[in-house]
């Protein structure tokens, strides 16, 4: 136990109480996917579509066919 206590004393705290970050050089996380929402889908719909991309394609087509000033149902 004595060695562990000695090693802890040798570790220096190299963190400053405050850091100044230059946010002008910040970059977006390349792995960020954006806002994602998950919706439960009925079995009848799952039987028709093989993957979520097909469902999204149909939903986007419906949205494009709606009048611009319409309110979502």
The pLDDT of residue 44: 93
Q: Which two tokens mark 23?
A: 């946010």
pLDDT tens for 17-52 read 787 888 899 888 888 888 888 889 999 999 999 898
Assign 48 to helix, strand or coil: helix
pTM for this predicted structure: 0.46
User: Which comes out higher in pLDDT, residue 54 or 1?
Assistant: 54
The pLDDT of residue 60: 94
Q: Decide: residue 21, CB within 10 A, 0-12 exposed, 13-18 middle, 19+ buried.
A: exposed
């Amino acid at each position: 136990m004595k060695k562990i206590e000695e090693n802890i004393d040798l570790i220096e705290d190299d963190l400053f109480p405050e850091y100044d970050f230059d946010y002008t050089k910040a970059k977006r996380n390349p792995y960020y996917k954006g806002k994602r929402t998950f919706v439960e889908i009925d079995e009848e719909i799952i039987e028709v579509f093989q993957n979520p991309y097909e469902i999204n394609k149909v939903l986007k087509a419906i949205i494009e066919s709606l009048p611009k000033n319409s309110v979502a149902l």
